[in-house]
Amino acid sequence: MIPITRRGFLKVSGGVAAGVAIGVPDVLHAATPTPEVQGRVNLPYPLHSIAKKQQLQANTPVPFSYPDASSPCALIKMGHPVPGGVGPDRDIVAYSLLCTHMGCPVAYDAERRVFKCPCHFSIFDPEHAGQMVSGQATEKLPSIVLQYDPKDESVHAVAVEGLIYGRQSNLL
């Protein structure tokens, strides 16, 4: 058995570390995120075409799914300007149809102009940014951020404000 001194140990271990460092840069470079992804907090939402303005009737919901097929939503032309509304009259809004209390699907009541949850009777107001009016829920309905294109009068979903019930992230 050859005795090893502290100096000998440091020489050998330093040489091994240097040899590994020379062979690893390509692996480290491949794992380093690109600058445009490195500082990102939010993932990009897909652009989803929903309807043309001329197809919309006041106070009649248009069902669609966003940001994926497991996320039921409704677009409504309220007939008068509302907070967050898009279009020439600022009256088109959209919301997730999953109740923020326990995820039951809410339904639009055209007579009362509210979303109602049949499970625990929460009520949400689409004319006031999906605010919870009464019931078990403690948060407003997640709103779907819309974009209106005046050239062809189309309405597109571009993002979600708020967290869809049961998810850690709106984008799966």
Catalytic positions are 101, 120
> How far is it, in rounded angstroms, from Cα 20 to Cα 40?
31
Give whole-number Cα distances, 102 to 65, 121, 141, 162, in Å.
19, 11, 12, 15
d(CA 67, CA 171) in angstroms, rounded, equals 7
End-to-end Cα, the chain, rounded Å: 59
91 in Cβ contact with 80 (< 8 Å) = yes
What gap in Å lies between CA 24 and CA 14, rounded to an integer? 15
